[in-house]
Structure 1
Amino acid sequence: MTDDTAARALCPMHQVTFPEAGPPRQATLATGTRVWLVTRYPDVRHVLMDPRFDRRSLYAEDAPRLLAVPNLLDDPDGLLNQDGPAHQRLRRTVQRAFTPRAIARWHPWVAQTVDALLDRFAEEPRPADIIEGFIRPLPVSVICRLMGLDHVDGERLRYWADHALSGGAHTAEQVRRAMTEFGEFGAALVAERRKAPGDDLVSELVAAGDAGGEIDDRQLVSLACGLVVAGHETTMTSLGNTVVYLLTDGRGSWAGLAGSEEAAAAAAEQLLRTVPLSEGRLLPGLIRRAVEDAEVGGVRIPAGSVVAVATNSANRDPDVYPRQEPGARDLFAPLPAPGVVFGAGPHHCLGAWLARMEITLALHRLAVRFPRLRAEFTPGTIDWREGQVTRSPLHLPVSW
């Protein structure tokens, strides 16, 4: 571990600082690629909603390198890297399952999953690791039930997810080998659900794709694999980092989470806004490329430029969110403007409502069940999961 890594490991994610909101300015990625860094809330929303900034052109022959080691985000066939009509075709295939109304139907069984995991966790000898005992298995259980993957080895899914969003923890060959295996799994899954459809999201994807005739198997496999990873990685990371905050600097808010599910939902929005998933060391934000000259925040950005949309900075823009620091705000106050942690515009995260529901239920029922939950860790003793695009605790010992 380098001195830099050791120093970083002492800093919980809610204490990480990000570039201050200001006009678009030049910055450099870890690969040496120059980008325009966009940090102000209105400018971030502008770029994310303006079709002159796209994803597909990031994979053109003249596009600069963004990551040293490719991962699942680099799949040109993936939903993330399509724009315009092609993107809309893929998105329509899956978005019906992720509307607020559809998510509301899943509330009872997600709540049952939370309660069952908490029942089991309560039997653990103390101190118990809340990451392995609750935070990691929750989103995996939810996405496996949603996609009909209860029969699949969870450790295998974890292995693929770790490689799918690798940010240096694995070599290019290790990532390639893991993604080949993952793709073979996805292809077999699509073929199986086409032959014997069930009441699950993969069967719905295959049926919708086959009915429309505009989506091939390669794209269906990419969609299925992307949902497996996104369905548990983001929620696991967010919950882990949030619990670090709530059991340390935010301890005074714990009782309020138990008050009602509505209070926990308001807190979840604030926590999603202020407890980041990533430090931005590899990528400082959501990446786009200008397909023509465009002006953003009074600054001209030439065609061909790579743009890094710093959502973490935008979520702390003092002109929009006067109270930025977790310890200085009312955790249960409504946001003055929607956060951009899930993006905005055509590529707004499909799973945003599912993630919100899981985090809300997890925090509320955890606080109800364990009103005196306490940390058996300090910031300096946390073992961090690094080498990924995101950063989160590997283990968090707690008592009650």
Structure 2
Amino acid sequence: MTGTRSTPSSPTPPMPPMPPMHRTPLRALGPPRRERLPTGVPVWVVTRYADVRRVLTDHRIGRASMFAPGAPPVATAPGFLDDPASLLNLDGEEHRRLRQTVQRAFTPRAVARWRPWVASVVEDLLDELERQGPPADLIAGFVEPLPSTVICRLMALEGHDTAAMSRWSSVALSRGAYTPEEVQEALAEFGSFMAGLLAARRADPGDDLVSGLVAAADEESGTGSAAGGIDESRLVSLARVLVVAGMETTQVALGNSILYLLDEAPEAWRRLSEAGTEDEAGAAPLVEQLLRLIPRVDVSAGDGILRQATADIEIGGVAVAAGDVLAVDILAAGRDPEVFAPDLCAGTDRLFSPLPAQSLAFGAGPHHCLGAWLARMTMELALHRLAHRMPGLRLTGPMDAIEWRRGMRTRSPLRLEVAW
């Protein structure tokens, strides 16, 4: 991005400390109730597990209509999540056709084949951390480069400006941290880069995710050109989604999870560190519990995950009219006592217990996160091997001294100073 933000003429006051994400206040559970988005648009807030799952899986509830011409604004600032051409905002057959161009690459079986080299990335980063020695910033040295390296290798982006892609991803998910002009500029640069990348892989394909995306799209078109089937702008948007989700989802979840374990669950960290080097599968239930307990999205803005009813329906005993917007609260649903027993005050065993119901951390239904299995596997490897290599890992300062990424749709530590 070529522009820079202006520097204030006078010193800005220090920002007040923020609570960690695992201490996010919960909304009260109950039937859908009326609230308003920051834009003033009325919404039904949905909190109970069964109701949230129903909203996410019902084909009469989607996203595309929220971004149709003339639709009331649901976001206070422009951003990556509001692109009508994005996979995130398509429904029905259009969504299915675009999603299937890349879906096969993210099945559990496909992801399992990547496990050895993802593990090698984890080990390389830990080797470098140990070489430099404590104290260290775990975000810069481990949490941030891990998912970035993984997605860049999958998409064969080595040699490209990955720092620019990381910056574009952050700007794309901002919520007030950048001006609308800066957001639009970043998205345009990101789109131009991806359009060039798609063209290059179409001309000279390789064994990577982008080449597979182009080939699948061209096969769908039946003409050898994406223009005959799936619109090229949608392929560009999908490629951007893969980068942003690949970098952002795991980084945010991993940073917040490590902070929770070191701050609130040291016994769980000890148990994880004592697991054998081959017992990586033992971290899987812990990862599921952490994804359920700790939100990635900063709910302080009050919007949540949005959907819109396209027909009159009933949710949790409440009549929802066609055109009504719904905001589902994944965090509240994940703490629903009708499904999950109380958690944060429970013992270590609870954190290593399988979930009694399907997690909604990555959504459900047609818009279930494509990269969910990759994110899970990366977190399992990262937490297991970090704890095994550094069983004495600890924070070097108090919780209220932690710096946070602010003005973003997601929230996680900006820095995490640790020693071992």
TM range (shorter): over 0.9
Q: Which moved more, 1:119-128 or 1:35-44?
A: 119-128
CA distance in 2, matches of 1:20, 1:194: 51
State whether structure 2 residue 239 is matched by structure 1 residue 239: no
Counting only pairs closer than 5 Å after superposition, residues 69-148 of structure 1 correspond to structure 2 as 69-148=77-156
State whether structure 2 residue 296 is matched by structure 1 residue 286: no
Q: Write out per-residue CA displacement over residues 45-103 of structure 1, whole angstroms, 9 at most, x where no aligned residue.
A: 11111111111100123422111111111111111111111000011101000000000
Residue aligning to 1:376: 396
Structure 1 residue 324 displacement after superposition: 2.9
State whether structure 2 residue 55 is matched by structure 1 residue 47: yes
Contact 1:257 1:267 in 2 (8 A): no
State whether structure 2 residue 328 is matched by structure 1 residue 309: yes
CA distance in 1, matches of 2:25, 2:405: 19
Equivalent position amino acid for 1:86 in 2 = E
Residue aligning to 1:249: 264
Structure 1 residue 326 displacement after superposition: 6.0
Structure 1, unmatched stretches of 5+, are none
Q: 1:223 aligns with which of 224, 228, 238?
A: 238
Equivalent position amino acid for 1:389 in 2 = R
Q: Write out per-residue CA displacement over residues 291-311 of structure 1, whole angstroms, 9 at most, x where no aligned residue.
A: 111100000011111100111
Equivalent position amino acid for 1:296 in 2 = I
CA distance in 2, matches of 1:326, 1:140: 34
**SS of equivalent to 1:385:** coil
CA distance in 2, matches of 1:93, 1:47: 25
Equivalent position amino acid for 2:413 in 1 = P
Equivalent position amino acid for 1:178 in 2 = A
CA distance in 2, matches of 1:34, 1:326: 35
Contact 1:382 1:395 in 2 (8 A): yes
CA distance in 2, matches of 1:377, 1:153: 34
**SS of equivalent to 1:37:** strand
Q: 1:283 to 1:109 in 2, by over 3 A?
A: farther
Q: Give the count of matched residue pairs.
A: 397
Structure 1 residue 180 displacement after superposition: 0.5
State whether structure 2 residue 26 is matched by structure 1 residue 6: no
CA distance in 1, matches of 2:377, 2:42: 38
Counting only pairs closer than 5 Å after superposition, residues 24-43 of structure 1 correspond to structure 2 as 24-43=32-51
State whether structure 2 residue 187 is matched by structure 1 residue 179: yes
Contact 2:363 2:369 in 1 (8 A): yes
Q: 1:20 aligns with which of 28, 37, 51?
A: 28
Contact 1:132 1:395 in 2 (8 A): yes
Equivalent position amino acid for 2:318 in 1 = V
Contact 1:54 1:83 in 2 (8 A): yes
State whether structure 2 residue 220 is matched by structure 1 residue 200: no
CA distance in 1, matches of 2:357, 2:77: 36
Residue aligning to 2:5: none
Q: Which moved more, 1:87-96 or 1:62-71?
A: 62-71
Contact 2:166 2:247 in 1 (8 A): no
CA distance in 1, matches of 2:13, 2:35: 24
Contact 2:32 2:47 in 1 (8 A): yes
Structure 1 residue 265 displacement after superposition: 0.9
Structure 1 residue 236 displacement after superposition: 0.2
Structure 1 residue 389 displacement after superposition: 0.3
**RMSD of aligned C-alpha atoms?**
1.4
* TM-score, scaled to structure 1: 0.97
Q: 1:181 to 1:174 in 2, by over 3 A?
A: same
Contact 2:312 2:321 in 1 (8 A): yes
